[in-house]
Amino acid sequence: MPDILISPNALHHALQQPGLVVLDASVELAAAQFDGDYRVASGHAAWLAEHIPTARHADLTRELADTAASYSFALPSPTEAAAALARLGIAEARHIVVYDRHEGFWAARLWWMLRSLGVAASVLDGGLKAWRQANLPLARGEQAQPGVAGSPVSLTVHPGYWANREDVLAVLDGQAPGTLVCALSKGLFEGSAVTRYARRGHIPGSLNRPARQLFDEQGRYLAPDALARALGPALVEGTQPLVLYCGGGISAAATALALTRLGRQGVSIYDGSLQEWAADPALPMTTGATPA
């Protein structure tokens, strides 16, 4: 099993090694200008303009998503995932590295998806920003993408990585053990900030652990001791299962990665998150702060 995180220099050194597959998981998600302002686009155009040499674009908006779902970025079926990953050429991969051009959340989402399907991968710590800061080379255009064999991919679905609306309701109603954790910012959690989603606020009883607080000023994950302080003992040392959510199951993936680095077990991500939950007026939401 490779380490979860890899540095830019280590990745650059590995680029010439056989069996390395680099995946750019970038997605363009515009900042909300008003409540319900949800604008998302594939990161393929930005990948064409600039990417790490040999990197292949992994499309989390379509090819690696269930586009028939009522919310964006829905987990694809194992069959759909296997077909998309085969096109990306991971069957022959000895080591997979995922990155994105933004805050690292998209890379964490793909990493968690791969992990849930029995595929080991690493995440480039700091993403494309850190790669640029290290003055490492960049490539452009389709011609920079290596040929993809498209061999069949064998996946093993591991339970416990994903939660659905019924799982969240069971925790909320006390029918199942668990702690709900919202990875959105304090403003979005409390309902004081403009939201992309149908309603402001959070699922009642949730703890708030903004995922952005898990990174340093350069966009790299904090050291383990600092991560543990940012997440708090209730998450790191507790024994209750953790159900993480955010707006679309993306920021929550960065929190899942951080918890995994600390050895925390029993972590799942609510795939639909607030994009699904807030759209149903029958499901409870609340605003304001909750105890830490």
Q: What is the pLDDT of residue 2?
A: 53
Place of tokens 């790490």: 52
Quick one: what percent of the chain has pLDDT higher than 90? 89
**Rounded to whole angstroms, how far apart are CA atoms 21 and 146?**
9
Q: What is the pLDDT of residue 144?
A: 42
Same fold, 5-144 and 162-277: yes
Tokens of 160: 């416990």
- Domain spans of the chain, in order of start: 5-144, 162-277
- Which tens digits make up the pLDDT trace of 147-166? 455 678 889 999 999 999 99
**Rounded to whole angstroms, how far apart are CA atoms 51 and 142?**
10
- CA distances to 23, 68, 130, 224, 253 from 218, rounded to whole Å, are 21, 37, 7, 16, 19
Q: What is the pLDDT of residue 145?
A: 45
CATH number for the domain formed by residue range(s) 5-144: 3.40.250.10
- CA distances to 65, 80, 105, 117, 265 from 77, rounded to whole Å, are 8, 5, 21, 10, 24
Characterize 117-145 residue by residue with b for buried, 16 or more Cβ atoms within 10 angstroms of its Cβ, and e for exposed.
bebebbbbbbbbbbbeeeebeeeeeeebb
**Phi and psi at residue 113, in whole multiples of 5°?**
-60, -50
Question: pLDDT higher for 7 or 3?
Answer: 7
Q: Sign of dihedral through CA atoms 39, 191, 252, 105?
A: positive
Query: Looking at domain 162-277, what is its CATH homologous superfamily?
Result: Rhodanese-like domain (3.40.250.10)
- CA distances to 88, 93, 131 from 151, rounded to whole Å, are 9, 11, 30
- Which tens digits make up the pLDDT trace of 53-106? 999 999 999 999 999 999 999 999 999 999 999 999 998 899 999 999 998 999
DSSP per-residue codes, 96-165: EEEE-SSSSHHHHHHHHHHHHTT---EEETTHHHHHHHTT---B-SGGGSPP---------PPTTSEE-H
- Which tens digits make up the pLDDT trace of 174-184? 999 999 999 99
pLDDT at 249 over 90: yes
Q: Determine how many CB atoms are found less than 10 A away from the CB of residue 206.
A: 24
What pairing do the DSSP bridges indicate for beta strands 267-270 and 162-163? parallel
Tokens of 266: 């029993």
Q: What is the pLDDT of residue 148?
A: 55
Q: Sign of dihedral through CA atoms 159, 162, 165, 171?
A: positive
